[in-house]
Chains A and B, each alone.
Chain A
Amino acid sequence: MKRYDLIIVGAGPAGLSAAIEAAKKGLHVVVFDENLRPGGQLFKQIHKFFGSKEHQAKVRGFNIGKKLLAEATQLGVEVQLNATVTGMYLDKEVIVKKGDEIFHFKGDAIIVATGASENSVPFKGWTLPGVIGAGAAQTMMNLHGIKPGKKILMLGSGNVGLVVSFQLLQAGCDVVAIVDAAPHIGGYGVHAAKVARCGVPFYLSHTIQSVSGDEKVEKVVIGAVDSSFTLIPETEKTFTVDTICVAVGLSPMSQLFKMAGCKMDDNPKKGGQVPVCNEWGETSIKGIFAAGDVAGIEEASSAMIEGKMAGVCASEYLGYCSSAEQAKDLENMAKDLDSLRQGMFAIKNRGKKIETTMEGIPISTNLLKKGFLSDADIKRFSPTKKIAGVHPVIECTQNIPCNPCQDACVRHCIKIGKDITALPVVDTTKTCMGCGLCVAACSGQAIFLVNEDFSSDYALITLPYEFLPLPQKGEKGKATTRSGEILCDAEVISVKTSKAYDHTALLTMKVPLAMSEKARFFKKVKSYA
């Protein structure tokens, strides 16, 4: 039986961050992961992350994964893949299945960062081939390069449902609808808005009534539900689809803790059964720690900080750092974590009815029901004053912890301030030079450059564009509204790509001047062979 100072189960954002922190303090660390590739869910996350610089904001998830893995390896962390921890016992002993053999290991401390599994929801026909988890769809697309289907209905409007819907569109699938039994969209408004402007309709207070097909999914019937989630008769709508993606939440995979005898708690706010932990992730058994989704469903950004905390605590527990050093580290990490746990979507605000932003502006209900901002919302959130020349227009209307736009602008045109959940404000006293860095930096794709002084009849709109093949300069297509409706003719003036934009192309289109406040997406009409 081999012994390590620290055994970490799970090489996702929490596990790798914990490994890095512990290895820095001199611990001999091994990380086991049942998957062929490390990084957990990070390697499927092709979108840019929210947060601030400290939280790796505007970096795409898979690049964060690469960075963590490189750092861990450099620090001498042993990452064992295809190694499934199948049991955890008294005295911190684990058994690991590798290939066709079982191995025993003992850790002086153990951090379990096994993450979560997808929830399912049963409806008539849910066992038909073609009904898959949204996470499964993401794995197929982003890791294996396989389209999960051609015509897809998404069940669930949380961030997973919204982000995966956008990625399905990027992969060239047709997303026919996003359906949620809840009366409001669960995920970030900016994620909803980028799907809505591609023309995907939202059906809130709706659920799947049945899915049918001979041998696989061919048809889905949805219906409206009342406030007690009971189907309302004669509200059925039918869609022809070949795939149903289910994104109805996650459950912590916490069985190892239970097996080892840790005190457990069934907490619906945390997604299900979680180990009872102190604020740094230590369980009821000294030297066993939890980090990431397994301790309560949150996000990769917070999982990384929780991992770091557990790594530091394991180091202190084994005497690799003083408690004074630990306290100092934890204080900084707690600050980082706290700044992520703010805003309208913070756990502490879950279930609360929020009516205004922290700035006191009434929130957009259209965004919560339909996925896009109404014209009235735009008037409320954007300054009415006309700005001459090219300038940013920011359609970010919810308080979420994110501020890369502020850092992106070298002219300091965009202000958020110290509190990163505050809404960005355009400083009209500064002059925009139209570099577009803010457009590319916005993880929510909610910043546009508008130039209403291009000519007497036309305006230019620059928008973030992440679909391939990229339209060509001079190409004629259609401009669409925020809801994806075709608005008018549009001509591509330029398509800029740059390393600094990190694969977000900046598409500038020319639209009639009167449309400058409405045109927010470019729809191709030319067919590509």
Chain B
Amino acid sequence: MHSINDRNKEIGKFIPAADDDLIICRCEEITKGEIRKAVHDGMFTVTEMRRYLRCGMGLCQGQTCAKLTKNIIARELNVSPSTLEPATSRSPMRPIEMKILGKEEVNKNERD
């Protein structure tokens, strides 16, 4: 992660490609072109990308696209994917309705 935090890294201009309209994050409908462009906008980490585009922030929480997004960013930065820190893992690990998340089983004594 630290190695690619150097924002002075010259990555060249965004060059449009034929497959830019390919959807990568299906939950949030984010395309390959949008991700590539975002790298040129200065989003060098997976976490930044998630906040900027919301890719990997949908229902499946990046279960399908996390690796794909990481690979696209890495290729654009011309680094190995394993040098990029994956996104932060947070609870809940699986999609949960807010009403369930708010309904914790609490010991009766604790509640009183």
Contacts and interface: CB of A to CB of B under 8 A. Distances in A.
A1 B107 contact: yes
Nearest to B85: A266
Closest 4 CB pairs of A and B: A87-B91, A255-B89, A86-B92, A258-B89
Interface in A55-91: 84-89
Contact of B103 (A101, A259, A272): A101
A59 to B, nearest CB: 31
25 contacts: A85-B93, A89-B91, A97-B92, A97-B96, A97-B100, A100-B97, A100-B100, A101-B103, A101-B105, A102-B96, A102-B104, A103-B105, A104-B105, A117-B63, A120-B68, A121-B68, A123-B22, A124-B22, A127-B23, A127-B26, A256-B89, A256-B93, A258-B89, A259-B93, A266-B82
B93 A84 contact: yes
Interface of chain B: mostly helix, strand, loop or mixed: loop
Given A100-B103, A255-B89, 19 more contacts: A1-B107, A34-B94, A87-B92, A97-B92, A97-B94, A100-B97, A100-B99, A101-B103, A102-B103, A120-B64, A120-B68, A123-B22, A124-B19, A126-B22, A256-B89, A259-B89, A266-B82, A267-B82, A273-B86
B84 to A, nearest CB: 8
Nearest to B107: A1
B20 to A, nearest CB: 12
A127 B27 CA distance: 11
A52 interface: no
A85 B81 CA distance: 28
Contacts of A120: 64-65, 67-68
Contacts of A87: 90-93
B66 to A, nearest CB: 8
Given A258-B89, A268-B82, A86 B96 contact: yes
Contacts of A103: 104-105
Contacts of A101: 100, 103-105
Interface string B54-65: 000000000111
A474 B106 CA distance: 70
A255 B68 contact: no
Contacts of A238: none
Interface string B22-49: 1110100000100000000000000000
A95 interface: yes
Given A84-B93, A268-B82, A119 B100 contact: no
A283 interface: no
A86 B107 contact: no
Contact of A251 (B22, B67, B97, B105): B67
Given A85-B93, A102-B100, A272-B67, A122 B32 contact: yes
A17 B86 CA distance: 30
Nearest to A87: B91
Contacts of A85: 93
B63 to A, nearest CB: 6
B17 interface: no
Interface string A18-46: 00000000000000001000000000000
Nearest to A133: B64
Interface string A96-135: 0100111110000000000001011111101100000000
A361 to B, nearest CB: 37
Interface string A352-379: 0000000000000000000000000000
B101 interface: yes
Contacts of B82: 266-268
Contacts of A100: 97, 99-100, 103
A94 B91 CA distance: 10
Nearest to B26: A127
Given A97-B100, A127-B26, A86 B68 contact: no
Contacts of B23: 122, 127
Nearest to A99: B100
B19 A119 contact: no
A258 B91 CA distance: 11
A372 B105 CA distance: 58
Contacts of B92: 86-87, 95, 97
Contacts of B91: 86-89, 95, 259
Nearest to A96: B105
Contacts of B101: 102
Nearest to B110: A1
A1 B64 CA distance: 33
A255 B89 CA distance: 5
A123 B63 CA distance: 18
A131 to B, nearest CB: 11
B85 to A, nearest CB: 8
B93 A122 contact: no
A104 B91 CA distance: 13
A183 B104 CA distance: 53
